[in-house]
Amino acid sequence: MNCMKLLGQKLMSRDFDRQTAEPQVRIAILNRYTALGIPVTRPVS
């Protein structure tokens, strides 16, 4: 939740449909950054 707050605590959009899409975009960004930070391990033979 702390990372979510770093992206902004307020919704910028005025339209309700866009307000619902805004947190989804923020979560997608956080998931992408998390995926980039996870190492890929492979067995050494």
Task: Give the C-alpha separation, 11 to 23, whole Å.
Answer: 8
Q: Is the pLDDT of residue 12 over 80?
A: no
The pLDDT confidence band at residue 4, using thresholds 50, 70 and 90, is low
| Mean pLDDT calculated for residue range 31-39 | 86
Q: Is the pLDDT of residue 40 over 70?
A: yes
Q: Which two tokens stand for residue 41?
A: 């391990």
* pTM of the predicted structure, to 2 decimals: 0.62
| Mean pLDDT calculated for residue range 23-43 | 86
**11 φ/ψ angles, rounded to the nearest 5 degrees:** -85, 130
Cβ neighbors of 44 (< 8 A, separation 6 or more) are: none
pLDDT tens for 13-26 read: 788 888 888 888 88
37: part of which helix (H) or strand (E)?
helix 16-37
